[in-house]
Amino acid sequence: MGELNQPENREYNDFVNNEIIEDYSLRYSPSKFRTWSEFVVSNTAIGSISFLALEAIGASIALSYGFYNAFYGILVASLIIFIMGAPICYRVARHNIDIDLLTRAAGFGYLGSTVTSLIYASFCFIFFALEAAIMAQAIYLYTGLPLSLGYIFCSLIIVPVVFLGMTAISRLQMFTQPIWLILMIIPFIAIFHKEPDVLSVFLHISGDGGNDNAFSWYAFGTALGISLSLIAQIGEQADYLRFMPNKTKENRIKWWSAVILAGPGWAILGFLKQIGGILLAAIVLIGGASIVEAKEPIHMYTAAFSYVVDNPNMALLISFVFVIISQIKINVTNAYAGSLAWSNFFSRTTHTHLGRAVWVLFNIAIALMLMLMGVFEVLEKILGLYSNVAIAWVASIFADLVINKPLKLSPPVIEFKRAHLFNINPVGSLSTLIASILSIVAFSGTFGAELQAFSSLIALFSALALSPLICILTKGKYYIARPAEVLEEGHHTCKSCHDDFDAADMATCPWLSGSICSVCCSVEGRCNDVCKTEKEFDLKERLIRWLQGISKEWEGSTKIPIAINFLSSYLGLLLTASFLLWTSYIVQIEGLDKSNLISVKNTYFNIFYLFALLLFVAAWLLVLMQQSKEYVEVKRREAELQLNDAYSVISSSVHYASNIQQTILPDVSRLEEVFADYFVIWEPRDVVGGDIYWCRRWGDGYVFINADCTGHGVPGAFLTLIATGALDRARHEVEAGKLGALVTRMHQIVKRTLNQHTDYAKSDDGLELGACYIPNDNANPMIFVGARFSLFVSNGKSIEEIKGDKKGLGYAEISEDQGFKEHIVNKISGHAYYMTSDGLIDQVGGERRRGFSKKRFRSILLELAHLSMPEQKANILKTLSEYQGQEVRRDDISVLGFKVR
């Protein structure tokens, strides 16, 4: 599309640029970063299974629905999680990408996975809130610190570790793992040794419904749904498994063991911990504590450690230490995974990337608000609802990996880069949406109590069935928007941020006319996806076309798209507000009697009606804003096309002008005829420039000139043509060898061409030059004339600068009869002669952003004196490039170096 729209350089903040902090979020994890062993990665992932919400969930389910219903519900849920987690964990470990990038590739598309990032982020902050609340309860019980202050303390304590990502988290898990395992196992051994009756109480927990502990399909289904809410934990395991080393023949056993144990294997440990939570709840009840306390891990383990030590204070202290260690271990993972999810979400919705570290604080802030709302008291209801959406998401990924791809319904490749994906892939997006709606409606009780209990399985099987069905209907065409180009193995430079990344993280970008890394591609909002030519999937557009086709009166109507946009915006806002109100409502009604319950319900309905009215207006404003935005975008694109057309015309004209300008330059054969050795550096700042050099035969010798005209680009190039004409005319008018007179005559011709000899002159332009006359007869010396130019002479040991006059050629204020002094320069074999324009001398660079300077130029000439002229040229260009760094080129550059015969 041309260079008109290209950004010069995309810069990120220090958080993003520091890969120890950033941990290659949003992108492929390269092998150079994945330096951890299989054991370290596995241990880090397993460390997150320390969370005590597992015990709390197990106890809560059993105390609500009875032991047997809880046991079988947890068992089936664990089996489902293990089976569905295996292919997901294998893929992230094999391809070294996080769960969000896998979601893109597994049927959701680039923007389709934005919603699932929100689902995953919700899992992370919900469980962060639960785990921090458990820790705060322990601190309150041991120190008396108010819960609100405890929530803040427990939220902030993990920040330093999470900021440093995998590097710090792996060390934390390595250090704490042995302590945690010992403290977790010892109390169970002591309980079975000292309390033989515990199994009787354990097996006969009957639940809230009464004393009957019989199996119930309703209770089993509800227990299954609550336990299945943990399915999103597989995402947190995957976020660590992406750092697995490459699988080789030598490490395949260790590699597979690590992936299975730390991936789907967490479900086995999770099952044992949930069942262990039921056992600990039984111990609390045996001790005479309340059912509420039996659900809280600090009370569970305090009661358990009382079997290990006789001193109650010591038991409380050990329990306190154990809870703190366990919750820190899990919440570094919740915060870390949440930061990745939010980074993915906001990079796509806002086209900016602030860095993973910023979203750590954002994720913690949301969790803190949930804790202050009292989320722990309504754990079952929140997890029961959340599990429906989470299960639909994970089941859709699973279906694509184990059904669609093996059956060749979808492409076998795992492609995560925006440049190659459709924005929306209906296979995963619609499967998750429809399955979530069906299961949530079932969860609300609309389909009856039986289906309400099994809403989680409705989500699971709906997604499993819908994914291949939609894939067949769409023929799998919304997976790959354009084939990926095969890039050479190794590192490639991103043309946007100018950093180097592995080929697996790169794509070709026609808008930039080069390669681009996946993150820069994600945050680039100005390219309008010009790399993709296939039409995107647009459900709203299909609905509009269908409605317009119903009646001829509606055909081509602009009102239907507006109505559809309004309804979709309004329903989206209303559903979001309803969910937030529902979450607050279930917290407020906990423990209320019937009369107060009706009052609170009426209050929330009134709030809902008020929200519905306000959101009606907000939705209409959004539609109007969207229309305005689309109108501006259309006009912007029209203007952009006009600019691109104009740019194309101008660019082609300037490039053609460059060809003309280069025909003025002397042939290589002429230079080889004159000099024993030479080099020429001629680099216009733009396509054409104001620097020029000539080599013309003149009498019994040659005149060799380096000139710098005012300006650069097109104006400078025009002046070079005027100067060329002045030189050729002056050569015929001035006697050969009289170099000073030649330069004076050029000066006069330039002034008259630009009308500078008149009172109404509009131009105050001219040029500076250095001119050498080199006679064919070696006995005759060389003559140098400088107009604000110097000749540098090197004998290999020192540099002599022969300075020219302080006046240039042309310019309104310079007299027309200005003379120029001739300098006699002996031609000595082995000596080298140089002329340079001020473009080199004045080029800014270096740490202090100073000009290149004559001093540095002279120093380089001395250092390079022993080299041939072509070698000197290469070294001068290299030195200039290193000195210039990221600074922009200020001016045209021309440097001439030669040795006479």
11 pLDDT above the threshold of 70: yes
Within a domain: residue 471?
A: no
**Of the candidates 501, 529, 552, which is a domain's last residue?**
552
Q: What is the pLDDT of residue 3?
A: 43
CATH number at residue 880: 3.60.40.10
pLDDT band at 431 (very low <50, low <70, confident <90, very high): very high
CB 421 within 8 A of CB 400: no
Within a domain: residue 108?
A: yes
Q: Are residues 638 and 575 in the same domain?
A: yes
Q: Are residues 181 and 221 in the same domain?
A: yes
**Of the candidates 362, 378, 394, which is a domain's last residue?**
378
CB-based burial, 607-622: b 16+ in 10 Å, e otherwise: ebeebeeebeeebeeb
Q: Are residues 704 and 639 in the same domain?
A: no
Token pair 């060389």 is found at 782
Nearest-CA neighbor of 281 among 128, 437, 52? 52
Within a domain: residue 590?
A: yes
Q: Are residues 224 and 100 in the same domain?
A: yes
Within a domain: residue 574?
A: yes
Q: Are residues 660 and 671 in the same domain?
A: no
Q: What is the pLDDT of residue 375?
A: 59
Within a domain: residue 474?
A: no
C-alpha 748: how far from chain center: 60
Q: How many CB atoms lie within 10 A of CB 132?
A: 31
Q: What average pLDDT does range 116-141 have in this prediction?
A: 85
486 pLDDT above the threshold of 60: yes
Q: Out of 280-289, 425-434, 747-756, 772-781, pick the least confident.
A: 280-289
Tokens of residue 663, six digits? 């025909």
Query: Tell me: the pLDDT tens digits for 233-265?
Result: 898 899 999 999 999 888 999 999 999 999 999
Q: What DSSP line would sit under 532-594, residue for residue?
A: --SPPP-HHHHHHHHHHHH-TTTTT-SHHHHHHHHHHHHHHHHHHHHHHHHHHHHHHTTT--H
Within a domain: residue 438?
A: no
Query: If DSSP codes are grouped into helix, strand and coil, which group holds residue 97?
Result: coil
pLDDT band at 8 (very low <50, low <70, confident <90, very high): low
Number of H helices, E strands in the chain: 33, 17
Instruction: Fill in the amino acid letter for 781.
Output: P
- Flag whether the pTM goes above 0.85: no
Within a domain: residue 430?
A: no
Q: What's the full length of the chain, in residues?
A: 901
Q: How far apart are CA 660 and CA 692, in angstroms?
A: 13
pLDDT band at 211 (very low <50, low <70, confident <90, very high): very low
Q: Which residue has the higher pLDDT, 407 or 525?
A: 407
Q: How many CB atoms lie within 10 A of CB 141?
A: 19
Residue 875 lies in domain: 667-900
Q: Which residue has the higher pLDDT, 772 or 368?
A: 772
Query: If DSSP codes are grouped into helix, strand and coil, which group holds residue 509?
Result: strand
Percent over 70 (pLDDT), the chain = 93
CB 509 within 8 A of CB 495: yes
395's CB contacts (< 8 A; 6+ apart) are: 84, 431, 435, 459, 460, 463, 464, 467
Within a domain: residue 390?
A: no
* Integer angstrom CA distances of residue 497 from 397, 516, 520, 818, 880: 32, 8, 7, 51, 22
CATH number at residue 360: 1.10.4160.10
* Integer angstrom CA distances of residue 887 from 496, 844, 849, 857: 16, 7, 8, 18
Query: Tell me: the pLDDT tens digits for 291-314?
Result: 878 888 888 888 889 889 989 889
Q: What average pLDDT does range 760-764 have in this prediction?
A: 83
Q: Are residues 799 and 816 in the same domain?
A: yes
Query: If DSSP codes are grouped into helix, strand and coil, which group holds residue 508?
Result: strand
Q: How many domains does the chain have?
A: 4
Top-ranked range on mean pLDDT: pick from 23-37, 57-71, 119-133, 731-745:
731-745
Q: Are residues 775 and 850 in the same domain?
A: yes
380 pLDDT above the threshold of 60: no
Q: Out of 261-270, 433-442, 555-564, pick the least confident.
A: 555-564
Q: Are residues 517 and 610 in the same domain?
A: no
pLDDT band at 207 (very low <50, low <70, confident <90, very high): low
Nearest-CA neighbor of 693 among 673, 668, 676? 668
Tokens of residue 412, six digits? 């076998």
159 pLDDT above the threshold of 60: yes
Q: Are residues 606 and 677 in the same domain?
A: no
Q: What average pLDDT does range 566-578 have in this prediction?
A: 81
Percent over 90 (pLDDT), the chain = 36
Q: What is the pLDDT of residue 556?
A: 59
pLDDT band at 550 (very low <50, low <70, confident <90, very high): low
- Sign (positive or negative) of CA dihedral 135, 137, 138, 142: positive
Q: How far apart are CA 307 and CA 310, in angstroms?
A: 7
Q: What is the pLDDT of residue 726?
A: 93
Phi, psi angles (nearest 5°) of residue 605? -65, -40
**Of the candidates 495, 528, 552, which is a domain's last residue?**
552
Q: Are residues 574 and 675 in the same domain?
A: no
Q: What is the pLDDT of residue 515?
A: 87
Q: Are residues 566 and 540 in the same domain?
A: no
Mean pLDDT for the chain overall: 86
336's CB contacts (< 8 A; 6+ apart) are: 162, 165, 169, 239, 360
CB 153 within 8 A of CB 377: no
Q: Out of 453-462, 584-593, 621-630, pick the least confident.
A: 584-593
* Integer angstrom CA distances of residue 280 from 55, 480, 678, 868: 8, 51, 89, 85
C-alpha 877: how far from chain center: 34
13 pLDDT above the threshold of 50: yes
Q: Are residues 218 and 160 in the same domain?
A: yes
Q: How far apart are CA 136 and CA 622, in angstroms?
A: 41
* Integer angstrom CA distances of residue 492 from 353, 416, 488, 639: 21, 18, 9, 34
